[in-house]
């Protein structure tokens, strides 16, 4: 099993657009084979910080996710909305940055 913890910060002006763009990506990603869970959370201490918490069956499922059209669309539409991000891939062997 693989976990992804992706933290991102936005601005007040871009907050609603980021959340809206993320809705479709979540819906489509949850349908993917190998996706065990895919959740998007807003920080309780900073309303401009969001965290994806993902669980994938294996690296192949994660790699297929990276190649999906809905993720490409999400990346393109949210790139200008995100001012900071940190992504960690957590496997039983190691933690790697993306």
| pLDDT value for 96 | 73
pLDDT above 80 (res 15): yes
Segments forming the whole domain that contains residue 68: 2-97
- For residues 98 and 71, what is the distance between their CA atoms, to the nearest angstrom? 15
| pLDDT value for 97 | 72
Average pLDDT, the chain: 95
Under the banding of pLDDT at 50, 70 and 90, the label for residue 92 is confident
Split into its structural domains, the chain has a count of 1
| pLDDT value for 43 | 96
CATH number (domain holding residue 74): 3.30.70.100
Average pLDDT value for residue range 7-21: 97
Each residue of 57-87: pLDDT tens digit? 999 999 999 999 999 999 999 999 999 999 9
Average pLDDT value for residue range 2-29: 96
- For residues 15 and 34, what is the distance between their CA atoms, to the nearest angstrom? 29
């Amino acid at each position: 099993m693989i976990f992804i913890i992706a933290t991102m910060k936005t601005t007040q002006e871009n907050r609603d657009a980021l959340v809206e763009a993320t809705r479709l990506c979540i819906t489509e990603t949850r349908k993917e084979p190998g996706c065990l869970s895919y959740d998007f959370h807003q920080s309780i201490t900073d309303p401009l910080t969001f965290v994806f918490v993902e669980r994938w069956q294996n690296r192949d499922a994660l790699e297929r996710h990276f190649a999906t059209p809905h993720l490409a669309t999400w990346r393109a539409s949210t790139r200008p909305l995100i001012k900071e991000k940190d992504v960690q891939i957590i496997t039983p062997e190691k933690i790697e940055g993306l």
